[in-house]
Amino acid sequence: MTIKLSVLDQSLAQSPDSAAQALQETLAMAQWCEQLGYHRFWVSEHHAFPSVAGSAPEVLIAALGAATEHIRLGSGGIMLPHYSPYKMAEVFSLLANLYPGRIDLGVGRAPGADMSTAMALAANRRPNFEQFPRQVAELCDYLWRPVSEPIVSPKPTADQPVWMLGSSIDSALLAAERGLPYNLAAFINPQAAPDIVAYYRQRFQANTQPDYRTEQLQAPYAILTISVFCADTEARARLLQLTHDINLFRFFTGQSTGAFLTPEQAEHYEISQQLAAFIASRDDSRAVGTPQQVRQRVATLAKRFDVDEIMAVTNMYYLDDRKRSFELLKQAFV
């Protein structure tokens, strides 16, 4: 099976005091994934999470561009309700001029934080989630309509794509209506159904506005983002997956102060009934095991969801495990 493979990196820190290390590891991972031949490398936006260093993807993308040569870089994504569409158009126009032909602007509606933090991010302490469709339209106008006022400086490049990110039918519909490429975050919503992508493809409308740049998307294009835990042995892959699940569960249930458990600690962690149910609920959205097992699972998910590309998020405690996972995943599809 031939399918494009890409990467989402969330800059997870092992503890609240190790953000600098996490960011350096993100830079190292981008270089590693470029060397391996991955198509694109995106970074996420989260706020007020003790162990997430990636709060400003636009800043991190600038550093990634300087550290790499040709891999596409993008935001997975900019949480647009927090910001001015005009400001984001200028930021990504600047990035696209710095790194021509390499920048993806992915936008989403989710807060990427709790509501009190979302209020702190808003200029008037009133998040504009209900205005998201309007904001997307304004952003596209600023980037693609040369006669828009005020003009964007620097001048937007002709090949600057805007991606719609989401995990529900609402985001799929908006992507289809605006003629945007779509990224379905199954790793966030493990119960996301293939119908979401089918709905996007059925409703897709190529943008035919005469004053828009002609380089924009003319046919639907979909990515499925899933968790991948690949290792030389199935036992090692399962342990790395279990470690992530335990750390995520502890965070969601308020049992963590921000410091992650190591695989060595997770191996002996008591699995409660609630934790077991949480782990099981996430199994439909990921690929875990040896390269052969992961290849089969990725191929199955790509076919079931009818997507053009798979984006892998691999949250493992140790950098060497993450690097090995992406190496084995890429080799599995050579």
The tens digit of pLDDT for each residue in 31-65 reads 999 999 999 999 999 888 888 899 999 999 999 99
CB 9 within 8 A of CB 26: yes
Closest C-alpha among 262, 172, 187 to residue 222: 172
Work out the average pLDDT over 171-176: 96
Q: How confident is the model at residue 131 (pLDDT cuts 50, 70, 90)?
A: very high
Confidence (pLDDT) at 1: 65
Phi-psi region of 289 (alpha: psi -120 to 50; beta: other; left: phi over 0): left
Closest C-alpha among 199, 201, 198, 195 to residue 181: 201
Confidence (pLDDT) at 212: 72
d(CA 205, CA 37): 32
Confidence (pLDDT) at 220: 96
Percentage with pLDDT > 70 across the chain? 98
d(CA 307, CA 183): 9
Predicted TM-score (pTM) above 0.85: yes
Residue 210, preceding peptide bond in cis (omega within 30° of 0): no
d(CA 103, CA 151): 20
**Phi and psi angles of residue 252, each rounded to the nearest 5 degrees, phi first:** -60, -30
> 3-state DSSP helix/strand/coil percent for the chain, to nearest 5?
45, 15, 40
pLDDT digits (tens, 9 = 90+) for 201-248: 999 998 877 677 656 678 999 999 999 999 999 999 999 999 999 999
HSE-up of residue 74 (Cα within 13 Å, Cβ side): 26
The mean-pLDDT minimum among 85-99, 114-128, 239-253 falls in 114-128
The mean-pLDDT minimum among 80-89, 115-124, 129-138, 228-237 falls in 115-124
pLDDT digits (tens, 9 = 90+) for 147-160: 778 999 999 998 88
Beta strands in the chain (DSSP E): 4-9, 40-43, 72-75, 78-79, 103-108, 162-166, 182-185, 222-230, 286-289, 309-313
Percentage with pLDDT > 90 across the chain? 79
d(CA 57, CA 63): 10
Work out the average pLDDT over 88-116: 92
Work out the average pLDDT over 196-204: 97
CB 142 within 8 A of CB 89: yes
Domains in the chain: boundaries: 4-233+286-332
Q: Which residues pair with 287 in a beta bridge?
A: 228
Work out the average pLDDT over 279-304: 96
d(CA 267, CA 106): 36
Positive or negative: CA dihedral 324, 325, 330, 334: positive
Higher pLDDT, 194 or 285: 194
Q: What is the token pair recorded at 311?
A: 């984006």
Q: Which residues pair with 52 in a beta bridge?
A: 12
Q: How confident is the model at residue 124 (pLDDT cuts 50, 70, 90)?
A: confident
What's the residue count for the chain? 334
CB 45 within 8 A of CB 55: yes
Q: What is the token pair recorded at 132?
A: 């998201």
CATH of domain 4-233+286-332: 3.20.20.30
CB 330 within 8 A of CB 37: yes
